[in-house]
Structure 1
Amino acid sequence: MGIAGQKVSKIPVRKHSKTGCITCKVRKKRCSEDKPVCSDCARLGFTCMYVPRSFDKNAVQKCKDQVEMELFVHKNKKKFVAEFEGIASGGSSSSSNGSNGSDGSDSQVERPSEDVEERALADEFETEGSSLAVVQTKSPSSPYLSQPLSDPINLHLDPVGMHLYDYYRDHLGKIISIAPLKQNYYLQVFLPMAHRHRGILYGLMAWSAHHLSISQEGSETRDDNYCALANRYTLESLRFLRSEIDTNFLWSLAQLLILCGAEICQGDVSKWKILLKYAADLIEKNVGGEISHLMSSFTSQIDTTTRYWLLANFIYHDVMCSRGTHFPIDQYNKVLSSHTDTSPNAISDVNMHVDPLHGVNRPILLLMGDITNLVRRMKNAGSFGKSHPKFREYMDRAFELQTELFQISPDVRELQLYEESSLMHALCLELFQLMKLSALLHLKTTCLRQSKHTWEIQHFWLELFEKLDLILGTKLEGCLCFPMFICGINATDQEQKRQIESRFSDIAKRYKCYNFQRARTVMRKVWLQDDSDATSPTSSISHTSLSDIGSLDIGENTDWYDIVDAMGWDISFA
């Protein structure tokens, strides 16, 4: 009782929510209850898990155990990394109990012999036309993050696997995307899929291992231990792909896209195109010649957002390569503009679709695919010139593309996702102009055959170079492979070349994706074709000097496409 004559105020009682995520409950923190990811989990990079009311006590406890293990690993990551280094130096991964994994009881990953690895690599990567065996399996349920992650995948991973998983979730999956966190489907879609499909999980872990193997300085030196892990998990993923490619269509497509991205990241110039071709053939086999049908099919197998992301991911990698696209660009336009459609199967929520790869630059990238297709048609025409029967047709198309590029502007609805006064809003607009300039230079110097020494091209070059410095060092710099390459091959004097070389060296310290290095190599070959002077000042800057690269005997009036073809490369600027 209170003192007589005094009014006793009640102390407010803090209410504990029963609907918060498991992670916050284990951490004994108040949950914001934002879905699909609460604010604390998003900030700290934890798995955010909401448990359905239908779960019994045992299922809830398993989820809590998973979260507790994740939190424990997060606190003891240095210890696990040290353990990994000890395991990797011995040449093989161990199981979670510290054994060598020979009995297979504690480790998910079956360790193949070197002979099996070599045969599998030969089967999957060296022969494009090889067929994949089929075993009937049951399709998993929808993977989107709004679904609870009820399969505690972390409980099945040894410390090495946890290290690779955490690296993808906490670092790699974030730097690949240029979209806001809620639109980062590398995390919001691929990670939940990995919780339900081991082939996808192994693909993501292979990607992490590839990325970790790359030197911070951009040299050709790789960490052998991480390379061995990348190969091992790639083979494990391919085994799942081989058994399911005809039965779990969309899950197999996700696997192919992940493995393709991993190969591009590590600087591959041949395997990735085989994986992308598998993906194209798989799409055509299941939906026919019109890929937009995928958005209205398979509705019971996987949700609309995931289907959209898989197609957008495929399209991005297809338009950013040097070979030309697998499907007509008008089909890609139809898919990627589907959020403006009002049909029942269309994607109408613009808040879901700032693409992690395209960003607001989608219309420019599709035009870049159109330009590459036109260049390839011109080159396939043989001795193309004004006397060629299709000269007028191809030139008319080139000028149409030029007009479209001059008139193009970003989608206002996508820009609305960024606060108008924010830095990201301003950077997205600058990146859009930068990509536009790159596409214009690309079109003018390849299809229209303008010399890079003309005042118009050099005017564009100066503007492009200025905008490069605005984007370098920001979250958006992952988009700069193609713009930096275009800026580089259109450099006309030693000072411009030195400046571009220094930018490539700068981004190599942060953004460890080796297709930047491959683009840099092609750029240097262009310089050698342009100028036979072997005493370039850039040779002392680069890890691979210009004199070591060697010029190619491909005749006069060549461009970078001819150089790439003469090298036998299929380069991706994704």
Structure 2
Amino acid sequence: MSIEEQKISKIPVRKHSKTGCVTCKVRKKRCSEDKPVCSDCARLGFTCMYVPKGADKTSVQKCKNQVEVELFVHKNKKKFVADFQGIVCDSGGSGGSDNSSSDSNDNTGVCSQVKKTLKDVEESALADEFETEMSSRVVLPTVFPSSPYFSQPLSDPINLHLGPVGMHLYDYYRDHLGKIISIAPLKQNYYLQVFLPMAHRHRGILYGLMAWSAHHLSISQEGNETRDSNYCTLANRYTLESLRFLRSEIDTNFLWSLAQLLILCGAEICQGDVSKWKVLLKYAADLIEKNVDGEISRLMFSFTNQFDTTTRYWLLANFIYHDVMCSRGTHFPTDQYNNVLSSHSDTSLNPISDVHTHVDPLNGINRPVLLLMGEITNLVRHMKSVGALSKSHSKFRQYMGRAFHLQTELFRISPDVRELQLYEESSLMHALCLELFQLMKLSALLHLKTTCLRQNKHTWEIQYLWLELSEKLDLILGTKLEGCLCFPMFICGINAADQKQKYHMEERFSDIAKRYKCYNFQRARTVMRKVWLQDDGNTGGSTDGMSHTSLSDIDVFDIGQNKDWYDIVDAMGWDISFA
């Protein structure tokens, strides 16, 4: 063997390992194969992901896609602002109306106070130089089809002139976010079937959906308060653009503006907001009030030249759901909501009552329970408005009579069989929907008994209901239906009577935070912990059974005995949404 051949033979042969992490494979780098984190990923701060043995091609591709997105975002951090500005330039800009021109039109539009509040929302969300840079943009006319609901085939999003980051946010909403926030079968998912086609025709709605995606992507999967600052910046800036479209069209395009408000409201609730979302919902309520003369069900008869029945129903159902799932009380009487949502209504009063194909993605088959929950909240607020209610108070019998009537209604209600049949995906989903309905009834009943009827959580009846509710929670957690568990988990949590029950609830909140990244769950958890601290302060108990990190976000304060979670939320200055 020649000298040259000997030298060549001594050169180590580079072996391509098939067991390295996905991140290194995507980067086309050699992996040290250290576990759980290889040396390169540890050094560069990347997510180190190994594909389990026996994983199918679909799972492997999902891992690669996730890594590619992370690497793209990491590489283009400094380009986010430029990319967003390019999107606006390509699409012709946005609102372009400065504060003076907006204020001069207050007397011809909706009330000036609401517009001023909305402007405050913009300023609090942005707080940077972007508003000045974008104020000179010109509004392009928006084309409004007669109905967005499958009115035309969806155009390629490239035609919307989105850059790489915009495309990423659009795809995330379409392929992930729009699916997890729905508890209905796919064909009933109006977040995709209605809102997405509308986004192809209206830039304000498109920017709202993209802001929602950015908010969701900014949230840590572990449920802590750490946010990705790049996604937060994107979310705020897309929110600004959406609000500018809203302000420029609010007096001329009612239903499109209503859709935009509902999307922005959902995005704020998702990111754990406790103040701005209520302004957006109040704005939506004022718009409805102005356009239907105080009777919300009239929307089902009006604007037929703009929207079909399905779309108008969805906009109302979306508004009603967010209205009944908050701690403040409803904007309209709940009997009006019953006229819209009840599938048993007379067809002369409700155009959709003979169309038994509606299971909207928020209410599901639980709408009868949710409407009663709105009535319970309204009753609680009425009782608190009179101060210290006692049996000698002039309205005591009225309020107690109403509470017992609501209790009777909760025992009587049942799901609509025709709606339940729409869950034909599998017998398991059919069974889970029935369990969820019973779970929602139990949580509403516990809520009524402990707030309006003032039953103590330590009584045998309440603890029996707690055990039933706890058992059903474990059935639903981890399924497609878990997105609607915020209120039931909260009610179960605040009625935990011992340290073992409290520890179990902490585990459940930690578990769902790994999958369902909506921060109103975290806000509910914070209030739950404050209730526990208040209970321990009143009873001389201890919170030793909780983890040492559980109280890190709690400020201990005393609001007095005989106070409930509504008083705690009010003392915090929060308007919490369980939507």
Q: TM-score, normalised by structure 2?
A: 0.78
Matched residue type, 1:83: F
Query: Is the aligned partner of 1:274 residue 2:274?
Result: no
Matched residue type, 1:287: V
The answer to whether the 8 A contact 2:326-2:576 is kept is yes
The answer to whether the 8 A contact 2:184-2:360 is kept is yes
Match of 2:199 in 1: 194
Q: Given the alignment, which residue of 299, 312, 336 partners 1:294?
A: 299
Matched residue type, 1:401: L
Query: Is the aligned partner of 1:85 residue 2:90?
Result: no
Q: 1:387-398 maps to which residues of 2 (within 5 A)?
A: 387-398=392-403
The answer to whether the 8 A contact 2:390-2:396 is kept is yes
Matched residue type, 1:522: V
Q: Give the CA deviation at 1:105.
A: 4.8
The answer to whether the 8 A contact 2:142-2:202 is kept is no
Kindly provide the CA deviation profile for residues 77-134 of structure 1, in whole angstroms up to 9, marking residues without a partner as x.
Answer: 8656533433334552427xxxx849x654666799xx9xxx998633579xxxxxxx
Q: Given the alignment, which residue of 475, 488, 499 partners 2:504?
A: 499
Query: Is the aligned partner of 1:471 residue 2:468?
Result: no
Kindly provide the CA deviation profile for residues 355-392 of structure 1, in whole angstroms up to 9, marking residues without a partner as x.
Answer: 11011100000000000000000000112111111000
Query: Is the aligned partner of 1:140 residue 2:144?
Result: yes
The answer to whether the 8 A contact 1:478-1:511 is kept is yes
Match of 1:536 in 2: 543
Q: Give the CA deviation at 1:548.
A: 5.0
Q: Give the CA deviation at 1:301.
A: 1.2
Matched residue type, 2:260: Q
The answer to whether the 8 A contact 2:357-2:422 is kept is no
Whole-Å separation in 2 of the counterparts to 1:76 and 1:466: 37
Q: Give the CA deviation at 1:229.
A: 0.3
Query: Is the aligned partner of 1:526 residue 2:526?
Result: no
Query: Is the aligned partner of 1:210 residue 2:215?
Result: yes
Kindly provide the CA deviation profile for residues 131-184 of structure 1, in whole angstroms up to 9, marking residues without a partner as x.
Answer: xxxx99666113434211365443311010000000000000000000000100
1:248–1:153 CA distance, 2 compared to 1 (3 A): farther
The answer to whether the 8 A contact 1:350-1:414 is kept is no
SS of 1:352 mapped into structure 2: coil
Whole-Å separation in 2 of the counterparts to 1:111 and 1:277: 22
The answer to whether the 8 A contact 1:552-1:563 is kept is no
1:281–1:75 CA distance, 2 compared to 1 (3 A): same
Match of 1:124 in 2: 121
Match of 1:283 in 2: 288
The answer to whether the 8 A contact 1:210-1:226 is kept is yes
Match of 2:566 in 1: 561
The answer to whether the 8 A contact 1:214-1:222 is kept is yes
Query: Is the aligned partner of 1:431 residue 2:436?
Result: yes
The answer to whether the 8 A contact 1:481-1:516 is kept is yes
Q: Give the CA deviation at 1:341.
A: 3.5
Query: Is the aligned partner of 1:331 residue 2:333?
Result: no
SS of 2:239 mapped into structure 1: helix
The answer to whether the 8 A contact 1:176-1:478 is kept is yes
Whole-Å separation in 1 of the counterparts to 2:531 and 2:278: 23
Whole-Å separation in 1 of the counterparts to 2:536 and 2:490: 18
Match of 2:234 in 1: 229
Whole-Å separation in 1 of the counterparts to 2:312 and 2:546: 46
Match of 1:55 in 2: none
1:162–1:431 CA distance, 2 compared to 1 (3 A): same
Q: Given the alignment, which residue of 149, 153, 165 partners 2:153?
A: 149
SS of 1:531 mapped into structure 2: helix
Q: 1:420-459 maps to which residues of 2 (within 5 A)?
A: 422-459=427-464
The answer to whether the 8 A contact 1:206-1:229 is kept is yes
The answer to whether the 8 A contact 2:343-2:356 is kept is no
Kindly provide the CA deviation profile for residues 403-444 of structure 1, in whole angstroms up to 9, marking residues without a partner as x.
Answer: 010111111111121249610100000000000000000000
Matched residue type, 1:519: A
SS of 2:456 mapped into structure 1: coil
The answer to whether the 8 A contact 1:152-1:195 is kept is no
The answer to whether the 8 A contact 2:94-2:140 is kept is no
SS of 1:92 mapped into structure 2: helix
* Number of aligned positions between the proteins: 483
The answer to whether the 8 A contact 2:533-2:543 is kept is no
1:91–1:167 CA distance, 2 compared to 1 (3 A): closer
**Runs of 5+ consecutive residues of structure 2 not aligned to the other structure:** 1-62, 100-115, 125-138
Match of 1:488 in 2: 493
Whole-Å separation in 2 of the counterparts to 1:499 and 1:83: 39
Bigger mean CA offset, 504-513 vs 84-93: 84-93
Kindly provide the CA deviation profile for residues 457-516 of structure 1, in whole angstroms up to 9, marking residues without a partner as x.
Answer: 000000000000000000000010000000000001000000000000000000000000
The answer to whether the 8 A contact 2:258-2:287 is kept is yes
Match of 1:9 in 2: none
Kindly provide the CA deviation profile for residues 540-563 of structure 1, in whole angstroms up to 9, marking residues without a partner as x.
Answer: 264xx3265122232111000000
Kindly provide the CA deviation profile for residues 299-340 of structure 1, in whole angstroms up to 9, marking residues without a partner as x.
Answer: 101111100000000000000000000000000000002575
The answer to whether the 8 A contact 1:452-1:490 is kept is yes
Match of 1:515 in 2: 520
Kindly provide the CA deviation profile for residues 261-295 of structure 1, in whole angstroms up to 9, marking residues without a partner as x.
Answer: 00000000000000000000000000111000000
The answer to whether the 8 A contact 1:552-1:566 is kept is no
Whole-Å separation in 1 of the counterparts to 2:375 and 2:123: 29
Whole-Å separation in 2 of the counterparts to 1:193 and 1:311: 16
**Runs of 5+ consecutive residues of structure 1 not aligned to the other structure:** 1-73, 128-134
Whole-Å separation in 1 of the counterparts to 2:309 and 2:548: 48
